[in-house]
A and B are shown apart, each in its own frame.
Chain A
Amino acid sequence: MRLGAGLLVAAALALGGVVAQAHLAGARVSDAAVMGEGFPPTLGAFGFFADAARQVPAPGVIAYELNTPLWSDGAEKLRFIYLPAGTRLAADGEGLLRFPVGAAIIKTFAFGKGAERRLIETRVLLHRADGWVALPYRWNAEQTEARLALAGGRVEVVTPAGEAISYAIPNKNQCKTCHSLDGAVIPIGPKARNLSARWLAAMVAAGRLDRVPEGAGSQPRWDGAAKGPAAPLARAYLDVNCAHCHRPGGSASNSGLDLRWEQAEPHAIGIFKRPVAAGRGAGGHEFAIVPGQPDRSILIYRMESTEPGVAMPELGRSSTDHRGVAVVRRWIAEMR
C-alpha cells in the first residue's frame, strides 16, 4: 500500500512538473479555437503546445499512454488530453472516460528516433457543444507548423521495421469512419481498462478525474506481447485495433463481426462465422476464425495483407504489423 501511495505521489508530481514547465513557457490553450465553429487552419491556433516541435504540452494539456495501443505503421504516438480550467473527466466503468465539453484529445504521429524524429501529423478531437469534431493537421517539412489537411494526404516514410511506405494521413471523413458510433463522432482510445491505474490515480489526485473506476488498467500491456497467454493479448489487440468499427453501431456493424473486449459469444468474435460482404477479402477461406487453423482464418489473411480491398483495418496502415499478427495467430492456433 505504501508503495502504491508513493507511486501515486510520484505520478502526481510528474503531472505537476509538466504543468510547471509549460507555465514557464507562458503558453495557453485557446478555448475559443477548441469550442468555436470553424476548422482552425493551423495546429498552432489551438495553443496545445508550449513547444510544438518538441511536443511539450501547454498548461491543462496532459500526456497519457495506452496499455495496448492502436498500431499505425509503427508510428510513434504522442498522446495528450486537454481539459479546460475547472473541469474534470468522469469515470464510466472500464469504458471510455467521459470528457467535459471544451476538452480535446491530441495525438501526434512521428517516425524516426532522437534527432531524426519527424512529426508527420497531429490529429485532434474537439469536444464542442454539439458533439465531437475530428481534424487532421499535417506537419511541414521544416517541422515548424502543422496545417489543416481536410482531404488527408500521403507522406513517404520509412517505418521502424525498415519498410519504405506511402503513409496515409486520413481525411476528415476517414477520421469519423473509425471514431463513429451510431453515426456520431466519439473518442476511441481513452478507455479506463486500457489506461494505467497509476495514471488514472494521479489524475484523481490532481483533481482532473472524479474517481478511479473498477476495471481500470485491466487490459494487458502490449510491451511483453511476445510472451504470456495469447488470449488476453489477442483480444486486447483486436479490441483496440478493430472493434471501433467491428461492433454494433460501428462502421462495420453490417458485417456482424463484434471484436469488442467484452464480447464473449464465439460466433460474434468470428469463430466459424462466414463472411458477409468480404468479397475477395475472404481469401478463399470460409470462416473469420477456424480454431487451431490460423492459415484458414480470414482474420489472419486480412491482417497480413496490405492490398486495398483486402487489408484490415481498411484505414490507418500501409504495412503489416507482424507482432500483432503473431499474437492473434498464436491465439487462434492455441484455440480448441
Chain B
Amino acid sequence: MNRLALAAALLCSAAPLAAEVHRIEPGEGAAARLQEALILAAPGDVIEIGEGRIALNDGLSLDVDGVTVQGQGMDKTILDFTDQQGAGEGLLVTSDNVTLRGFAIENPKGDGIKSKGADNIIYDSLRVEWTGGPKPTNGAYGIYPVESTGVLVQRSKVVGASDAGIYVGQSRDITVRGNLVEFNVAGIEIENSRNALVEKNIATRNTGGLLVFDLPGLPVMGGGNVILRGNVVKDNDTPNFAPPGNIVASVRRGTGALVMANDGVLIENNSFEGNATAHVMVIAYMQPFDDPRYNPHARNVIIGPNAFGRGGDDPQLEGKEALLAAFGGALPPVLWDGLAQSPESALKIAPGVTGWTLNLAQPGQSIAEARPGPLMLTPVETWEFPEVGAPAALEARLK
C-alpha cells in the first residue's frame, strides 16, 4: 500500500461508523440468536432484546468493545437461567466500554453478570434475582465487575445472592448508585478496590448491608478511598446463608456497614435503622495471613454525621446479654475493634457519633480477649477526603 492509500485507510477507520442495532426477539432459537449477536457485533453496535422471557441453558458472553446490550426494562426482558447446564455465570463481559441496560437475569447457577478486565463498564437498570429467596445454593454474586478501571452500577436490583448482591473487586474508579439490594448475604461489597463512591443505595433485609473489605493474597490489594454516602441501610436481618468457607460467612446478621482493613473510608449522611448487631463496624482483618504486601489494619476511617435509628439491640455477638446490660439495652451505633496502626490513622468520628470498642491490642486477637468499653475518641469537626467515583466520561455516556 502506498503512503497516501495508507493514510486514507487510517482516516476511514478512525471515522465513527454508523452503529447498527441488532434486535433479538424472544421465541424459537432466541438463546442462540442472542449469543451469535453478541459475538458478531461490531464496536458501537446496540443489541436490543425484546420484551419477554428467553430461556438459556448455557452462559452468555460478550467480548466486543463499545457494545450496548439493552432490554425493555428489568421486569420486561428476562434472561432465564433456571435450566443452565454450563458456565460459571449468566453473562460474562470481557471487553471495554460496554453498556448493559434494562434487562433481568434470573436464577443463574453461578454469578449473575460478571465483567472481568472490562474497563469503563455501565450496569444500568438491571435486575439479578434468585427467585427462590435466600438460599446457600444460589450463586455468589449478582453484579460482579472485577479487575476493571471505570465501573458504574446504577438503578439496578439484586435479590438473593449467596455472597454479595453487587460486588466490585480488584478495581478502580467506581460508582455504585441508586441500587436496591435485598435478601443477599452482603448487599454491596467493595473489595480490594480504590476510589469507590457508594451512594443513594437501599440495602435492606440482607445479612450485612454495605461491606468494604481488603483481603490478602490477591493480585490486587491496597483497597481504600471509599465513600459510603447517602445510603439507606435498613433492617439487615436475614440470617447468614453464605456457604461456609467464604469470607462473608463470618458477617453477623444485623450488620449495617462493615469496614475491614482498607486505607481511607468515609461514611457520611447515611440512614441506618434496624441493624441489630451494629450500624457501623470497623475492624482489622482477623485471619492469619502470609503476604508481606498486605496491611490488615483499617486506616483513616472517618464516620461523619449519619442518621442512626434503632439498632444494636440484638447483637449476634458472644456475651450479648452482658453487653446489652452494660450499655443499657442497646449497643451504640459504631463498633470498633480498637486497633490502630498509628494514632494518626486511627478511627475518626464526627461530633455526636457514639460507639463502643473491643479494645483489642493486635489484629487476629481472639474476641474472647476483648475488653469492651465506650468509644472514647475526640470528635473531629472537619476532614479532608478525596472526591472519588467513576470517570465523568461514563456519566456522560448515560446522557
Query: A residues bordering B, Cβ < 8 Å?
Result: 150-154, 166, 168, 171-174, 176-177, 180, 183, 248, 251, 253-254, 256, 267, 273-286, 298, 307-310, 314-315, 318
Contacts and interface: CB of A to CB of B under 8 A. Distances in A.
B87 to A, nearest CB: 6
Most buried by A among B88, B162, B219: B88
Interface in B55-83: 57-59, 61-63
Contacts of B36: 150-151
A282 B244 contact: yes
A174 B109 CA distance: 17
Contacts of B215: 276
B243 A309 contact: no
B359 interface: no
Contacts of A275: 245-246
Contacts of B247: 274
A277 B140 contact: yes
B140 A254 contact: no
A277 B142 CA distance: 12
A166 B58 CA distance: 11
Interface stretch (B110-118, B197-205, B268-276, B389-397): B110-118
A282 B117 CA distance: 24
Interface string B38-67: 111000000000000000011101110000
Contacts, number: 140
A308 B85 contact: yes
A282 to B, nearest CB: 4
A183 B87 CA distance: 19
Given A177-B61, A251-B116, A171 B35 contact: yes
B109 A309 contact: yes
Contacts of B140: 277-281, 309
Contacts of A307: 109
B32 interface: yes
Interface string B240-271: 00111111000000000000000000000000
A309 B110 contact: yes
Interface in B364-384: none
Most buried by A among B58, B92, B139: B58
18 contacts: A150-B36, A151-B32, A151-B35, A151-B36, A152-B58, A173-B61, A173-B63, A177-B61, A180-B94, A254-B169, A277-B140, A277-B141, A279-B110, A281-B110, A284-B244, A285-B245, A298-B245, A309-B111
Nearest to A284: B244
Contact of B219 (A176, A253, A318): A253
B39 A150 contact: yes
B243 A176 contact: no
Most buried by B among A176, A256, A277, A314: A277
A79 to B, nearest CB: 23
CB-CB nearest 9 A-B residue pairs:
A279-B140, A309-B110, A282-B245, A173-B61, A309-B109, A308-B109, A314-B88, A151-B35, A280-B243
A315 B87 contact: yes
A314 B86 contact: yes
Given A173-B63, A254-B146, 20 more contacts: A150-B36, A150-B40, A151-B35, A168-B86, A171-B35, A173-B61, A174-B61, A174-B87, A254-B220, A267-B217, A267-B290, A279-B139, A279-B163, A280-B139, A280-B140, A283-B243, A284-B243, A284-B245, A308-B87, A309-B109
